[in-house]
Structure formats: structure tokens, C-alpha cells
Structure 1
């Protein structure tokens, strides 16, 4: 795997993104309602061409976008990332009809996408999904037209598309319940763990699909979904029946390093704020920066932030080059960067003192934002498990 370094055009693009985030996106973010989808912000991301780049660029560009936006406007970063997470399965595994219908709208910011994997009893253990996709030989197609009869197989009919009813719950779903479409992972074959899961593309207006918003620590939209015999057909399948776990992991292998980029952007914002504060703050007859304990703390913050950044872009480069060890590098990048950002933001708050805890302060905002990435898209403990599994697999031993 080659080493990563930014080219001049990438450096210029990152600077442009920071300016756009500060001048055009942050004002829209500030007008949004906490916990709700900010459609004006999503639409602006579409007008700027950033959403389209989710599907035309590689992992490195995705990380550059997420880090740069996170530095100046975490709400814009999150809105962009959630569009990508929700619609990447359509881009990578969808049929031509699915792609043609949804990707232009997601890219324009006129449709909001969501990735529905987690459940009340299956968060980190994705193989324990309980949302059921039960064969439904009597149902009509979602458009109301009669469905052909199924043969003896519960999953396929030779004379027409297969049909299921989705029953169960999803929880902790970003953009729920306001998204326009959901990538939903459901169990089509009981008792088979991760091997019996299928990914479905489910429009929000399907009968039987309802949801509720959840109030969380960070302000981005997140909610629960209830599936009450929601009808889906083979036309809604993403990828292959019973191979939806591949869809989920393929998506997460791309987005986990970029979660790290989000974390690095927050860490850099906290570090820069700390540099400015400690350089100007009078204390004990001099500047805060003159105290060795403070200077060494800032140096440690910078060291860890740069190390995390290098790990993130190494993982993104591995993904773009099709390296065989992408899952290991993706897990390492997410783990190191999110844990680092937590450390850096916490240290920044400590060096700023009480002012950093005042509502509306940058660090108060970052302190609330930085906690969740250590949990979503695989908690830190899960990432350590993935790393260990990949390491032992490389020597032919199971952990």
C-alpha cells in the first residue's frame, strides 16, 4: 500500500470546502431544528455538487470532504455523510432501475436517504438481526397490481418476483423517521446468523412503515422505525437474497475510514481553538502557552491528531487501491481517529476552562458531537475485534 500525501489540488479543494462550510452551509445549519432533517442544508450540498461526488469519487475524496466540512460545520458534514451511507448500497448493489430512480434525487438533495441496520436488540452484533422478511404469496405488489403465485420456494417464483412482508423494528437510525428511502436489512432465513440477511430498498411511503424521532445528545436527526407487515418484492432487493450482510459490510468498509475523517476534522478544530486560546490567555504572569504542562499537552493533542489523520488516509488509499486488508485498515482508522478526537476535544475543554462548557461555545458543541462516533458504525470494541480477527486470519489461525 502506497503512502498518502495531499496533492496541491487537494489542499486547495480542502480550503475551498472549509470556506463553503463556514460561509454557505453553517448559516443554513444554524437555522435548522435540532434532531430534524435539515432539507435546506441537504439541498445546498446538492447544489454545490458535493452529494454527487459521493458516488463519483473514491474513499480519499470522501474523507477529504468529511474532514473539511467537519472542521467548519459538523451539521453539514453529517448531512453529507448520511446521504452517502444511506444511498451507497443503491449505488454499489442496486439494479439499474433502483439507481436511475433514487441516485439523481439523492445527489440533488431532493431525496433523503437512510441506512437502517441497527435494532433494539442488535446494535454491534449485526448478525443477530431480528427484523423478519416473511414470504407473502398472497400480497399484491407495492404498486397495487396483482402478484403472481409463488412456487414451493419461499424466496423465489419462476413466474414473477418474490414478495415478503417486513415485520419488526429498527432503532438508532440516522435521518429516521424523515428519510424518503431506507436501506433496510432483514432476516430472510432464520437461524443462519449473518448469512440469512437480505438488504431491501424501502421507500418511506410503503404501507405499514412508521417511525418516531429520538432525542439524543448530539443534534443530528435519529429515530426508530416500526415495520408492520411492510410489503417488498424482489424488485426492492439490493444485491442478492440472503447476502445482505455483504452489502452492509461493503458499505461500512468505505464509510468507517470516513467516520475517522469526521473525527479528525473535529479534533483539528479543537486543536486550533486551543492554540489560539493558550497563545492569548494571560495566566500566572504570562501566557498559558508558557506553562510547560500546557505546551506539552498541546503538543500531545497535535501528535495524536496527525497520527489519526495519517491512519485515516492510509485506510482510504487502501480502499481505493483494492487492497486485500481493507477491513483491518478501516477498523484501525475508525478506532484510532474517534478515540483520538475524544481525547483532543476533552483536553481542549480542560485547557479552556469553564467558558468551553457554555452553551454555544465551539468546544461545547464538539464535546457533544464527538462522543457518538465511538459507537455508531461499529463501536470501538467491535473495531478491536475486527482487527484481531484479521490479524489472526493472516496467519491462518482463528482468534
Structure 2
């Protein structure tokens, strides 16, 4: 079976030569990798090293910091994640977290911060993490409770040169417990809601940071809870403007939201490929499964669902890269892409599993693992319901 997906969609006007170059080179490289994924943490470290050595992580940062393209490019991220997720959702995870985990530094970091972290991210020498979610602050970011308070009693919270102490918890942190640094968002003005959040870079091993509590989920990925207890951050660890953290977090997520849709497309395309292969080989009642009209109808529905999500995804990434429309219109396009691609991928993978019959629920088969892998994409980086609200409010306006 040829597992490489078609790249016909790269002929669409959304893409240019740089994106077609990725699509021409990445599938062969990805298919040739042989990573033992039984230990998700060891596998992710392996994938980061391989992605770094092969130059693919260079698409996570801008050219001036060792990147492959002049700026972070949503279409490149989509093509990369779609291809990696087709071959290995864990490879996609490892790649995506390098970009998301360092994205706030790319957008808001000082020249010194960018020089200290971004080239190492591009090489795979440092593993990055984005620490935003909390036990009671997921979709409602403004409800976060992690506090950044003056280290000295005679300082005030908005003093620009004073060290601060972090106290509180973060949870569902991807790469938690194995990251070399965390981009952490904390309340510097507790009364100001989303306008009182500031970002900081916190290195692994900083006194007062405990990232040892691993979280186990249905599709194994490195996740952990972070506990901050009088964790000191100096003034030069502040990321972006004081109390400008919410905007920085949203800008970072906006770049990567369409790429989540890209990952969903990759998983859906793999499920369709597995379903086609199975339908052609499985014999019943004197013919192959593919000979039944019901099978053909299901495969047709799966292909249409994938293409519907793909067109919205490519449009959203193109709009972001080329600054088409207003910022609000770009956010709505990304919401439509993320919602449609992830929800459609869930349906496609479910149909592929059903087509496999009993084999579909056997642990170790590809459709079984895809069934677990796809589920979290409908939740993280903005659950489907959040995307629906974004779209609905825009329609009403």
C-alpha cells in the first residue's frame, strides 16, 4: 500500500513554491522514520531530535533566528502538520509544540530572548512549552489564578525592574515535565481580568517550579501539571509588555489554530487511505468490500468531508499569511477551519473504523489509534463550542 497522500491540493492558488517544496520533500522523509512510540516522552524527544536534524523545525521560527522562511508562515505549518499527522500524530505533536511553545517569544520577545531560545528551538536543542491553561481557566483564560507578585514587600506590582514571584498551578501543559523552558502566563493585576495578564519565560529547573506531575490521556502524549511555589522570575524574563499577556497568547494561538485543522486533515486522510486499502482487500459474499455500493457511498462521503475541511483550512492560513480581510475576519476563518476540519475528521475516522469491523477496535491497528488521537483536537486550542461562538457572534454582527 502506498501510504503517501495526494498532493494535488498544493496546486491551489493558496500555496506558493515554498509550500510545494515542503510537500515534495517531507512525505518521503516522514515515511522513512522508524520511531518506537511505546514511551510517549522518549518518542517525543526522538522526534524533536530527528525533526531538528532534518531541518523541519526551522519552519517554527523566522529566518533571522535560524528559520527556513522570513516569518512564521501558517500555510507552511499546515502543510507540515498535515503530512506529519498522516504518518505519525506524535511526530505532529512534537513539531507543533516547538512552534506553539516558542511562538510567544517569536512575537513578543526581546532581541536577547529571541537569540537565547529561538535558534535552539529550530535546531531541536531546546524543547518548548506553552503554559496557559489552569484547572479552572481553560476556555475562560481571564479566570486564571496563577499570581505574579513583587519579590520584595517594598515593590509595587507594576514596577518594571522588580523581580516577581509566581504562585499557582497550570495544567494540561503539553511537553510538561520534559520542556527546557515554559512560556508562562500569570496575573500581574488580579483585578483587571484579561487586561492584567503578563507572560514570562521560565526555564526548567527553576527553584519553585515543580513539573513532575504527569497527566495520562487516552492517546499518550507528554502532558503535565505545573506547580509554582514562590518561583522567582527576574525582570528580563518578562515576555512582551506588562499586562499584555492575553493579547500575546491570543496572537500566538491565532497563528497555530489553522495548523490544528491541518493535523486533523492528516489524520483523516490516513483514515481514508486505510479504509480504501481495507475495502479493496477484504472479501465477503463472493466480492470485495469495495464492490458494495454502500462502501462506495461511505468512501465518497469521507472524501467530501476531508475536502470541505481542507478548503477552509487552506483559506484561513492564506488569509493570515497575506493579511486578507480584517483581523476579525481572519479569526473567524480560522475558527471555521478548526471547527470543520476537526469535527469532519472525527466523522471520517469513525466511518473508517466501522468499515474495518472488529479489526477497527483491536488495539494496535492504525484506525484504532487514530480514533483516540483525533478526539483531543476537538478540545485543545479552542474547543469546538468556542469556535461556534466566535463564528456565531460574527454572523450576528
Q: Given the two structures, how large is their TM-score scaled by the length of structure 2?
A: 0.90
CA gap of 1:107–1:287, structure 2 versus 1, over 3 A, is same
Instruction: Identify the residue that residue 31 of structure 2 maps to in structure 1.
Output: 22
Looking at structure 2, the residues matched to 20 and 39 of structure 1 have their Cα atoms a distance apart, in angstroms, of 18
> Following the alignment from structure 1 to structure 2, what is the Cα–Cα distance between the partners of residues 249 and 391?
21
Q: Is the 8 A contact 1:114 1:173 kept in 2?
A: yes
Alignment of 1:167-178 (within 5 A): 167-178=167-178
Q: Is the 8 A contact 1:256 1:330 kept in 2?
A: yes
Compute the displacement of 1:154 (Å): 2.2
Rate the CA distance shift 1:209–1:23 in 2: closer, same or farther, 3 A: same
Deviates most, 339-348 or 231-240: 231-240
Name the residue aligned to 2:163: 163
Where does residue 186 of structure 1 map in the other structure?
186
Residue in structure 2 matched with residue 145 of structure 1 by the alignment: none
Residue of structure 2 in register with 1:246 after alignment: 247
Alpha-carbon distance between aligned partners in 2 of 1:355 and 1:15, rounded to the nearest angstrom: 33
Which deviations, in whole Å up to 9, do the C-alpha atoms of 1:91-113 show, x marking residues without a partner? 11101111111111111111110
Distance 1:391 1:135, change over 3 A: farther
Unaligned runs of 5+ in 2: 1-11, 63-68
- SS of residue in 2 equivalent to 1:169: strand
- Structure 1 gaps of 5+ residues are 139-148
Of residues 368, 373, 376, the one that matches 2:377 is 373
Does residue 41 (structure 1) correspond to residue 56 (structure 2)? The answer is no
Q: Indicate how the Cα distance of structure 1 residues 100 and 281 shifts in structure 2: closer, same or farther if over 3 A, else same.
A: same
Given the alignment, which residue of 88, 96, 105 partners 2:103? Answer: 88
Cα distance in 2 for residues equivalent to 1:292 and 1:281: 15
Superposed CA offset, 1:152-194 (max 9, x none):
x42115xxx1221110000000000111100111111112221
Distance 1:36 1:215, change over 3 A: farther
Partner of 1:112: 127
Residue 255 of structure 1 aligns to a residue whose secondary structure is helix
Report 1:281-292 matches (<5 A). 281-292=282-293
2:91 & 2:21 partners in 1: Cα distance?
A: 19
Which residue matches 1:54?
60
Residues 97, 371 of structure 1: CA spacing in aligned structure 2 closer, same or farther, 3 A cutoff?
same
Which residue in the other structure is 1:272 paired with? 273
Q: Which residue of 1 aligns with 2:157?
A: 154
Asked if structure 1 preserves the Cα contact closer than 8 Å seen for 2:48 and 2:94, the reply is: yes
1:355 aligns with 2:359: yes
> Once the two structures are superposed, what CA deviation does each residue of 1:239-258 show, in whole Å capped at 9, x if it has no partner?
11111011110011111100
8 Å contact kept, 2:157–2:188? no
Moved more, 355-364 or 62-71: 355-364
CA change 1:243–1:108 in 2 (3 A) is: same
Write out per-residue CA displacement over residues 50-98 of structure 1, whole angstroms, 9 at most, x where no aligned residue: 1111113411011000001111121111100011000011111101111
User: For the residues of structure 2 that align with 1:234 and 1:254, how far apart are their CA atoms?
Assistant: 27
Deviation at 1:4, TM superposition (A): 4.0
Partner of 2:235: 234
State the match for 1:203 in structure 2: 203
CA contact under 8 A between 1:281 and 1:287: conserved in structure 2? Answer: yes
- 4+ runs deviating over 6 angstroms: none
Q: What is the distance in 2 between the residues matched to 1:109 and 1:78?
A: 14
Q: How many pairs align?
A: 373
Structure 2 CA distance for partners of 1:37 and 1:196, relative to 1, 3 Å? farther
- 2:299 is matched with 298
**Distance in structure 2 (CA, Å) of the matches to 1:54 and 1:242:** 26
Q: Per the alignment, in what secondary structure is the counterpart of residue 183 of structure 1? A: strand
Q: CA deviation at 1:32?
A: 5.6
**TM-score scaled to structure 1, two decimals?**
0.90
Distance verdict in 2 for CA 1:217–1:31, change over 3 Å = closer
